[in-house]
Structure 1
């Protein structure tokens, strides 16, 4: 990996994230670009890369366990009536080019390839913005276009028979600490109460940091949240929760998630205020 394979995100001149475009990873991990480390303005890391509990978790990025049967998440594939199964079905997201590359963000073109065929073409737009002296926002938009000649669908273990496992889409693997992080929304608290529900935003709060995830478009807000706190800390937005997401030939699915990255432990009122500031209409 060379310096040309990475981009450093900066907020007010301070580095807050490192983006790796061409990671050197085994096929089983579904190689794909990712952000790691991502830090608060004070320098606290809030992501993990290939942790022992899930080595295919790669910081912040887009990962999907089932694109027409190909695994772009990494690890085992959930097979109906069989459970998690080792299959030789892993795809890779390949960086094509940067259309724009600035200190505070970039626009990237990617190709989603499996078994030698391109299934999806992605445009990824990422921007970092200062909110306050203790918080900044990561604005992450991805557009997936079906470049095949036929219909294509995205699934999850949930749509394949494993209730509660609707992971797939934007995913943030957070920093693991001795104690599980707190999880809350505007009106709910706890992993069990929030996982699989729809809410304008969800917060994950560690010992000295808080992450607040917000759907920034109406379509994104329709996707339920995938939340883990006790087993490991992670939050994602589910593309395929109850049914497979269909993308006809030539059409595009677009999602936008804005994440507030804050130093310290913050209240519901502070979280709501930061989300309002971070998510433009």
Structure 2
């Protein structure tokens, strides 16, 4: 039986739908996700299961490798070999709601290996608030706690030899528009300058049609999150992530907790970099 998504609303507008109990194949690393996310004018700014990447699920928390278990989906990058299909996909399961209101969704989850070992417990919050007539802010906060008796190794494919593949953590798959997208951050205004950099914010704008654009401003809204690097891909598809690890694994001892906070300004139109920077300064706190 299909379970209806939880929704985030601002006034009479549904700005996001949260699929908290998804029906997905094991190879997708089943997990809750936000889709569709919409601007105030109704433009959809997430993409779900595109043909080339069926494991990309709107906005979600996804990690390529936790102690050898794949919570990202699709193939696993194996050092010295490359991408390989392994029987190692994990699942994120909803446990209980702590809060469920039109503007705030807070729940607990457990991260299970394919053999049902509980690796992590999580508290996750999605919240929405208006900014102005054409902008609203989505906040994602998550705490991951090691629930095993051993130190967990959390790593990206970059940590085992896939150059530049520092993905894993908060990840947003955006729709590709009919033309070139534009990017900006304090580290530069090109994908090469931003990918792998640390910046307080990162803006991506893309055309939604011949005469309309959307802009997403991703804001690292805590000291720990600002220390993470940005994953940015604009060739072939638009994907943005705040990476928990890059070349080196993140080692999480037993009972230890990692916390991250990302705010996304969801805007209609093509925002200039100075406006993105101002939004980042306003929303970071």
Query: TM tier, shorter chain?
Result: over 0.9
Question: Within 5 A, what are the aligned runs for 1:210-249?
Answer: 210-249=215-254
State how far apart, in whole Å, the 2-side matches of 1:141 and 1:30 are: 21
State how far apart, in whole Å, the 2-side matches of 1:220 and 1:11 are: 26
| CA shift for structure 1 position 106 | 1.1
Question: Within 5 A, what are the aligned runs for 1:1-281?
Answer: 1-3=1-3, 5-114=4-113, 115-207=115-207, 208-280=213-285
State how far apart, in whole Å, the 1-side matches of 2:272 and 2:178 are: 22
1:97-121 deviation per Cα after TM superposition (whole angstroms, max 9, x unaligned) = 1101110011110010012100000
State how far apart, in whole Å, the 1-side matches of 2:280 and 2:13 are: 22
TM-score by length of 1: 0.97
- Measured on the aligned residues, the alpha-carbon RMSD in Å equals 1.0
| CA shift for structure 1 position 57 | 0.2
State how far apart, in whole Å, the 1-side matches of 2:55 and 2:235 are: 18
State how far apart, in whole Å, the 2-side matches of 1:196 and 1:47 are: 22
| CA shift for structure 1 position 180 | 3.4
State how far apart, in whole Å, the 1-side matches of 2:275 and 2:250 are: 34
| CA shift for structure 1 position 14 | 1.0
TM-score by length of 2: 0.96
State how far apart, in whole Å, the 1-side matches of 2:77 and 2:200 are: 29
| CA shift for structure 1 position 187 | 5.0
State how far apart, in whole Å, the 2-side matches of 1:198 and 1:276 are: 16
1:94-149 deviation per Cα after TM superposition (whole angstroms, max 9, x unaligned) = 01111011100111100100121000001001110100100001100111000001
Contact 2:143 2:259 in 1 (8 A): yes
Partner secondary structure for residue 24 of structure 1: coil
- Judged with a 3 Å threshold, the aligned counterparts in structure 2 of structure 1 residues 247 and 206 are, in CA distance, closer, same or farther, namely same
1:181-230 deviation per Cα after TM superposition (whole angstroms, max 9, x unaligned) = 11111351111111001100000101110000010001100001000111
Partner secondary structure for residue 244 of structure 2: coil
State how far apart, in whole Å, the 2-side matches of 1:130 and 1:239 are: 28
State how far apart, in whole Å, the 1-side matches of 2:153 and 2:126 are: 25
Contact 1:211 1:260 in 2 (8 A): yes
State how far apart, in whole Å, the 2-side matches of 1:191 and 1:170 are: 18
| CA shift for structure 1 position 262 | 0.2
| CA shift for structure 1 position 178 | 2.5
**How many residues end up aligned between the 2 structures?**
279
Partner secondary structure for residue 273 of structure 1: helix
Point out 4+ residue stretches in structure 1 off by more than 6 angstroms.
Answer: none
Q: Which runs of 5+ in 1 are unaligned?
A: none
State how far apart, in whole Å, the 2-side matches of 1:231 and 1:253 are: 32
Partner secondary structure for residue 97 of structure 2: strand
Q: Which runs of 5+ in 2 are unaligned?
A: 208-212
Contact 1:180 1:232 in 2 (8 A): no
